[in-house]
Structure 1
Amino acid sequence: MICLELFVTFFKIGLFTIGGGYAMLPLIQADVQAHGWMTAEELVNFIAVSESTPGPFAVNVSTYVGAELAGLPGALCATLGAVLPSFLIILLVARFYAAFRSSAIISGAMSGLRPAVIGMIGAAAVSVGQTVFAPDGVQALAGYPLACSLAIFVLMAFLTHRKLHPIAIILLSALLGIAAGYLRPM
């Protein structure tokens, strides 16, 4: 029964999300927590792992959630549910691409959806940020996670002309996290 529930939940998420993995995040958060499948902190951990493993972000999250809840069958059902809507939609779009290409209605719809996708990604960033930076309230904002995030933002947004590779930033962040873990008072 949980496998069917995972499939239906992630199928719905995949069907109603425009804009890729990050736009799926608010729906994943809402559905996973509405079902009581895991806490916000557990989901943030899965998001972190999904970010650091190869493959599409939303597929990784769905796979990890499914595996946590129902092992390999759960992982397969959740992954299939997340991927199947996109696959079916792409088949339809490919079939009728020539007719859609110059349609003012389709062009207008896509123009209207772009700002919504940005808003959904921003909402997901705020939600995940609250869980990471302030799980116990505002006093947690003074610590390592905020400083690390701001430093990486500055490196990526303003120093890209220096050709600082994202892998170097990921490795540096991991090393700083390990050091912060050892230096944190018990």
Structure 2
Amino acid sequence: MKLYFLLYFEFFKIGLFSLGGGYATLPFLYHMSEQYHWFSPVELTQMLAISSITPGPVGLNVATYAGFKTAGIIGSIIATSAIMMPSYFMVVMISKMLKKFRNNFFVESALYALRPATAAMIGAVSIRLFKDCAIRSMAFNSFSFAKITSFLDIKAIVLIICLFIFSFYYKKDPLIFLLIGAVAGIIMHIL
């Protein structure tokens, strides 16, 4: 029972403080994996990959998957409802107060100030995901160029760079690049 309360509290906290979409939940989830060891950072990266290709908001999908990994079906229900509650309450409260504070300088300033913080959180997660996906082992003491191939997954790095370049030049649906990356990753893993 204690696990369920802790799971609810942690995912409620994530829902309350992760502003900027589903990817903004990831720093909190990485912290949760390090603090409680309910899932590993690698498992979290895999949860993100699966959540990105399933329908629905990424943060909600990751919460559902992480809750299931932690405490089964009941855990997924608890995590999903907990991560949604803060947003639900905020939307209800804001909709009632929107007319009153719509052109308030302080409200506009606060929302404007949240933009860089959100971008920084998503940037930090991007670096963490790159590290988890492209670096095999961080167990090295001294850096030398001869050791680069021993800890870097060169194929994954090339795939990431190619997909980034293609997505920049060929402004197509991100799902296309996600599917290309998934298929290429599976093929590279098999080879």
Task: Calculate the TM-score normalised by the size of structure 1.
Answer: 0.90
Runs of 4+ off more than 4 Å:
none
| Number of the residue aligned with 1:131 | 132
Q: What does 1:110-121 correspond to in 2, within 5 Å?
A: 110-121=111-122
Amino acid at match of 1:7: Y
1:59 aligns with 2:67: no
State the shift of 1:166 in Å: 3.0
Q: Distance in 2 between matches of 1:103 and 1:156?
A: 38
1:172 aligns with 2:173: no
SS class of match (1:169): helix
Q: Distance in 1 between matches of 2:13 and 2:131?
A: 26
State the shift of 1:17 in Å: 1.7
State the shift of 1:178 in Å: 2.7
Amino acid at match of 1:97: L
- Aligned-residue identity in percent: 31
Relative contact order: is structure 1 or structure 2 higher (C-alpha 8 Å, sep ≥ 6)? Answer: 1
Aligned residues: 180
Q: What does 1:27-42 correspond to in 2, within 5 Å?
A: 27-42=28-43
Q: What does 1:70-81 correspond to in 2, within 5 Å?
A: 70-81=71-82
Unaligned 5+ runs, structure 2: 139-147
SS class of match (1:136): coil
Unaligned 5+ runs, structure 1: none
| Number of the residue aligned with 2:20 | 19
Post-superposition Cα deviations, 1:37-63, rounded to whole Å, max 9, x if no partner, equal 121111111111111111111111111
- Cα RMSD of the aligned pairs, angstroms, is 1.5
Moved more, 145-154 or 170-179: 170-179
Q: Distance in 2 between matches of 1:16 and 1:167?
A: 27
State the shift of 1:69 in Å: 1.3
Task: Calculate the TM-score normalised by the size of structure 2.
Answer: 0.88
